[in-house]
Chain A
Amino acid sequence: MFVLRRLGQSALTLFVMSALVFTGVYAIGNPVDILINPQADQAEIAQTIARLGLDRPLWEQYWVFLSGAVSGDLGKSFAASVPAIDLILERMPATLELALMAMVIAVVLGIPLGLLAGLKPHSWVGRSIMAGSILGFSLPTFWVGLMLIMVFSVQLGWLPTTGRGPTLDVLGIPVSFLSWDGLRHLILPATNLALFKLSLLIRLTRAGTREAMLQDYVRFARAKGVAEREVVRVHVLRNILIPVITVVGLELGSVIAFAIVTETIFAWPGMGKLLIDSINVLDRPVIVAYLLVIVFMFITINLLVDVLYTALDPRVRLKGAR
């Protein structure tokens, strides 16, 4: 029941967003300018106007736009003369690999560091971890990216400055983390992208740990004579994992969005760099296609996380059913 309701909400959101995108492209700007190549000749322009139905009433145009979007036809890229959606899908694995790698770095470092800072909040270790996380929150991602290139590529010469490196196909999807050279190309951009989420996870884990340590079940476990390691592992860590997993899920979408910045700095050939390149050459069909794809991804991720969260925590299910 809850899942059905949530599915309905997602469909509604998707509909609202498509209407917004439509308004943005068709009503605010002149759709002829936005969707037709400025280099096209008169006959071509007339033909495209007829094909896209730009001479028909607005609600009919929306219908044409919507049915085009549903069947995956979002227009051809001006720059590459191939369907815009194909360009996006071709670049998607690179972005997803970068985002997932960043998330892995954030989780693998963030949870232990946050735990440590939560267990010893007043020691110098705890304080320095927190100071680091404040810095991580405040540092602008793009500037950190530049500094990483400056230190590790230009000064030390350890890692390549930009690009993706060689890829290997796994189930038909090109990935780069399997070869040493590919991994070397991945380290800097992934670290750059991970930094903000790492700070977030440290804060979240620290707060959760401090709260859990005050709970009665921790006191009882200690009174029972359970070793401190076990208390932390079984009673503290388990209880903070649910909110942490939820946040990791929800933040995945924002990591994919923030990859726009990282990809531009490191010339990583993902969707984000494609978006910026397309904006720079005014390749509008690609911009629209990117927009719809990312909105769809966001709504799917939010839906999945909500459903998973309900499965993990019965309290939410009860509240949602009311």
Chain B
Amino acid sequence: MSMALSPRQEFTRGFARDRIALAAFWVLCLLLLAAIAAPLITPQNPYDLAQLDILDSKLAPGAKSAAGYTYWLGSDDQGRDMVSAILYGLRISLSVGVASTLAALGIGLVIGLIAARAGGWLDALIMRIVDLQLSFPSILVALILLALAGQGVDKIIIALIVVQWAYYARTVRGTALVELRKEYVDAAVCAGYGSARILLRHVLPNVMPPLIVVATVQVAHAIALEATLSFLGLGMPITSPSLGLLIANGYVHLLSGKYWISFFPGIALLLIIVAINLVGDQSRDVLNPRLK
């Protein structure tokens, strides 16, 4: 039966075998959809001051406003609906996480392939740099970069790229070295193809699956890191309120018992990170031939 399955079908079936991972996948899809469609589905634009009413500030979850509108998750100190703020925050957190991960993936991919193909001193040098960077925790590297470079959306994306590229470079180099020793590469060399063509057309497609798994989990890391940096006041500017910034805003009100301003954005952050981690874990297990 399994003979007739394409690799993609095999992956889908293997993935669906774990119910929790499948549920996580759907939660992830739902969150992505909600984040993309945020301006369409939220009851208010939380950053259009004309739509905010200061009289509605710090309402408890479920409270009704004077206009008869229900704040299901409460409102913050500006009278902002938390549901709307969270969906907009999710949008910002996800786009920063995904953008930085894709950029880091591209850079790591190129550097990793170069290291694997070149070998010798270049390979050794690149891998020493990778080792050096990975021996320091990403939060420390990112903090220092932002401390020296200052704030801004572009700066935080650069910081997230800097802390991530080394993972990809190492993963790509490892898998590419294995692939380069295989017979199809010898065959391609005998056929007279150039180095670049062999790397891009033959090796690259085989390097991608493990890389995509690493990238999935890294998006979660990037989102968590951005949230942490924003919470510390070194990440996103006030004009781009990510989930981390929402949590930071609620911090002062937490001590007076108004928990919802920090609590619900945290739950959203948790949901997206857990969902990504579960999907990533399951994909890795399905792709790992030793576990079949």
Q: Which residues of A contact B (CB under 8 A)?
A: 13, 16-17, 24-25, 28-29, 134-135, 137-143, 146-147, 149-150, 154-155, 161, 253-254, 257-258, 260-261, 264, 275-276, 279-280, 287, 291, 294-295, 298, 302
In the assembled complex, how far is the CB of residue A248 from the closest CB belonging to chain B, in whole angstroms?
A: 15
- How many A-B residue pairs lie within 8 Å, measured between CB atoms? 96
**B-side binding surface: helix, strand, loop or mixed?**
helix
Q: How far does the alpha carbon of A17 sit from the alpha carbon of B136 in the complex, in Å? A: 11
B270 contacts which chain A residues (CB < 8 A)? 138-140, 143
How far apart are the CA atoms of A298 and B144 in the complex, in Å? 15
Chain A residue with minimal CB distance to B141? A257
Closest to A16 in B: B132
A147→B255 contact, CB < 8 A: no
Q: Which residues of the other chain, A, contact B251 by a CB distance below 8 angstroms?
A: 146
Give the distance to chain B from A207, nearest Cβ to Cβ, in Å.
13
Residues of B close to A141: CB separation below 8 A: 228
Would B255 and A140 count as touching, CB distance under 8 A?
Answer: no
A138–B273 contact, CB under 8 A?
Answer: yes
Alpha-carbon separation in the docked complex, A210 to B274 (Å):
25
Q: Contacts A140-B270, A143-B266, A143-B270 hold; do A150 and B259 have CB atoms under 8 A apart? A: yes
B246 to chain A, nearest CB (A): 11
Contact A154 B269 (CB under 8 A): no
11 extra A-B contacts, CB within 8 A, seeds A140-B266, A275-B147:
A13-B132, A134-B274, A138-B224, A142-B228, A142-B231, A142-B232, A142-B247, A150-B262, A154-B254, A260-B143, A279-B143
Is B148 in contact with chain A by the CB < 8 A criterion? yes
B232–A261 contact, CB under 8 A?
yes
Q: Is B120 an interface residue (CB 8 A)?
A: no
A–B pairs, 20, beta carbons within 8 Å: A17-B132, A25-B148, A29-B148, A134-B277, A138-B270, A140-B224, A140-B244, A140-B273, A146-B254, A147-B266, A150-B254, A155-B257, A253-B137, A257-B137, A257-B139, A260-B140, A261-B228, A264-B232, A280-B233, A291-B144
Encode contact with A along B226-240: 1 for CB under 8 Å, 0 otherwise: 011001111000000
Please measure, in the bound complex, the distance between the C-alpha atom of A28 and the C-alpha atom of B147, giving whole angstroms: 12
Q: Is the CB of A279 within 8 A of B234?
A: yes
Q: Nearest chain A CB to B273's CB is how many angstroms away?
A: 4
Alpha-carbon distance between A132 and B143 when the two chains are bound, in angstroms: 29
The verdict on B263 contacting chain A, using a C-beta distance below 8 Å, is yes
Whole-angstrom distance between the Cβ of A238 and the nearest chain B Cβ: 26
A143–B247 CB distance below 8 A: yes
B29 at interface by CB-CB < 8 Å:
no
A291 partner residues in chain B, CB cutoff 8 A? 144
Identify the 9 closest CB pairs spanning chains A and B, nearest first.
A143-B266, A257-B140, A254-B137, A257-B137, A138-B273, A138-B274, A279-B147, A142-B231, A140-B224
CB distance from A272 to the nearest CB of B (A): 9
